[in-house]
C-alpha cells in the first residue's frame, strides 16, 4: 500500500478559518494516509521535516484560494515568494519552477491552472516540487476557494486519494 501525505494550512492574519485546515482535519487518517496542518509561514524546514518523517509515495497539498467557484489543480510552483509588497526568489540559484509530478484529473468542480500566486501555497509547491522531483515521488497541490462547500471538498480529496493513489 502506498503512503500518502495530505497537508493544509492554519489560519493567519485576518483569515479566521482556513478551508484547507478544515478539510485536512476531516480526512480519514490511517496507516497509509497521514494528515498535517502547517503554519502559514515561509519556513522551508516545516515542509522538508514533514516529508522527512516517513517515506511517502505521494504528497498532496491543500491551500485556500480567496475567490473562484472551482477547486484549482495547480500545475507548478514558482521560484518566488511575496515579501511585503514585492516578490523575491525562493532559491537564488534554483530552477524557475517545479512541475507537479502527480497528475490529477479534474472533475466538474475542478479546473487546471498555471499560477498559484506568490504566497505560502506557492512556496510549499516549489519546495515540495523540488523534493518530489529529486526523490521520484508524486506531488500535487489543490487550491480550494474559501466559499467552496467543505463537505464537497472532503469528498473530492478522499476520491483523489482512493482513485489515484491507492
Q: Using CA atoms, how far apart are residues 11 and 18, in angstroms rounded to an integer?
A: 5
Spatial contact of 141 and 104, defined as CB atoms under 8 Å apart? no
Q: Residue 165: its pLDDT value, please? A: 60
Region of 41 on the Ramachandran plot (φ > 0 left; ψ -120 to 50 alpha; else beta): beta
Burial of 26 (0-12, 13-18, 19+ CB in 10 A): middle
Count of the separate structural domains present in the chain: 1
Check whether 148 has a pLDDT greater than 80: yes
Spatial contact of 24 and 11, defined as CB atoms under 8 Å apart? no
What confidence category does residue 47 fall into, taking pLDDT thresholds of 50, 70 and 90?
very high
Check whether 90 has a pLDDT greater than 80: yes
Please tell me the pTM assigned to this model.
0.95
Spatial contact of 61 and 141, defined as CB atoms under 8 Å apart? yes
- Would strands 71-74 and 110-113 be described as parallel, antiparallel, or unpaired? parallel
Q: Using CA atoms, how far apart are residues 156 and 13, in angstroms rounded to an integer?
A: 28
Extract the C-alpha cell encoding 58. 505521494
Express each pLDDT in 97-125 by its tens digit: 999 999 999 999 999 999 999 999 999 99
What confidence category does residue 81 fall into, taking pLDDT thresholds of 50, 70 and 90?
very high
Domain that holds residue 80: 4-165
**Cell 471538498 sits at which residue?**
153
DSSP state of 1: -
Q: Using CA atoms, how far apart are residues 21 and 88, in angstroms rounded to an integer?
A: 27
Q: What is the CATH number of the domain that holds 66?
A: 3.40.630.20
Amino acid at each position: 500500500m502506498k503512503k500518502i501525505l495530505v497537508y493544509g494550512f492554519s489560519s493567519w492574519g485576518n483569515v479566521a478559518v482556513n478551508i484547507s485546515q478544515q478539510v485536512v482535519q476531516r480526512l480519514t487518517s490511517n496507516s497509509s494516509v497521514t494528515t498535517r496542518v502547517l503554519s502559514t509561514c515561509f519556513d522551508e524546514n516545516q515542509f522538508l521535516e514533514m516529508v522527512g518523517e516517513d517515506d511517502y509515495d505521494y504528497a498532496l497539498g491543500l491551500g485556500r484560494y480567496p475567490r473562484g467557484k472551482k477547486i484549482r489543480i495547480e500545475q507548478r510552483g514558482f521560484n518566488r515568494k511575496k515579501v511585503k509588497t514585492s516578490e523575491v526568489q525562493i532559491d537564488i540559484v534554483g530552477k524557475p519552477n517545479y512541475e507537479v509530478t502527480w497528475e490529477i484529473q479534474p472533475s466538474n468542480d475542478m479546473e487546471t491552472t498555471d499560477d498559484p500566486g506568490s504566497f505560502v501555497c506557492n512556496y510549499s509547491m516549489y519546495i515540495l516540487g523540488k523534493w518530489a522531483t529529486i526523490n521520484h515521488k508524486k506531488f500535487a497541490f489543490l487550491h480550494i476557494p474559501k466559499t467552496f462547500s467543505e463537505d464537497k471538498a472532503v469528498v473530492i480529496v478522499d476520491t483523489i486519494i482512493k482513485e489515484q493513489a491507492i
